[in-house]
Structure 1
Amino acid sequence: MYNGRMDLVEHVNHFNQRMVVHSKNEALMCMVFPSSLGPVAMRWFDGLEEGSISSFQELTRAFRARFVTCSRVPCPLDFLLSMVMREGETLKMYLDRYWEMFNKIDVNFDDVAIRTFKVSLLAEHDLRKFLTRKLAKSIRQLMDRIDEYKRVEEDQ
């Protein structure tokens, strides 16, 4: 349900994904789309002049134009580069913050993200030392190394 606060591009993409088997049926796509709208967007839809929309592409273009202020703006890489583990912050708290910020960055900067993650840990943190010995070449590998570290920590 589009509530007016979520990213509208994401909403349209999810709708398209759910309707992929019907994507060639423009009329059906236009008729079903309103069922994915919350109250605010539904009022907008109900206010459209009859016959003013002739295709699903036109409908989504009008939708995006009306709710453009609700679009998610990707975070610049600087946000990730400025992250540091705070004194007294648990590894779990830091990981949650880090991955949340990482997911808000749309461009693929895996190599920078891996290095940033490591250097932003407290200098004396054992995970930082562990990642220095066991270099990661991808985000997936970094996550695997972190999981490996956590398993070793739990066993001690």
Structure 2
Amino acid sequence: MSGSAQKWLNVLPNGSITCFQDFKNAFLRHFTSSRKYQKIDQYLFTLKQGFAKPLKSYIKRFNQVAQDVPSATSEILMNAFTHDLMEGEFFRVLIREPVKNFNEMLGKVANYINVEEAQAARRKEDKTTAPANAPANKSKRMPPQPLARPFPLSKDAQLGFPPGQC
């Protein structure tokens, strides 16, 4: 033994272990919280995609949890995945075009992630490149424009009469 098990054994009171059954019970009582428990199917339904979170991060977390649930069937995986999926374009695609199994769904997920990433790259590119005819910095002030010349006054206006009365 080594590590925490050795430390535990060293602090046991003398005479507290009289047989293997005593040792086993004491060991299990002490280390039962360290045991890795197998997750059940219901745990998959606790995952949420989250508002405005990319599909790629959701499927990554979902697959990590799904690996810890060996009893999950393809049908359970599909139901849990769509249950926690944010409503949007991909959700509508899955409703319109149902898949037969989880592997087929993963194929659709991969295709949609490609579209999602291409759209994000395009938005990023649009933000970094300004149109050629737009000023580089919108906050710059335009130079003052010359004032327009007023129309010459009519003879009536020059004499002080209101316009259109003579």
* Superposition TM-score, scaled by structure 1 size: 0.50
Q: Which structure is higher in helix share?
A: 1
Higher CA-based Rg: 2
* Superposition TM-score, scaled by structure 2 size: 0.48
Higher normalized contact order (CA 8 Å, seq sep 6+, divided by chain length): 1
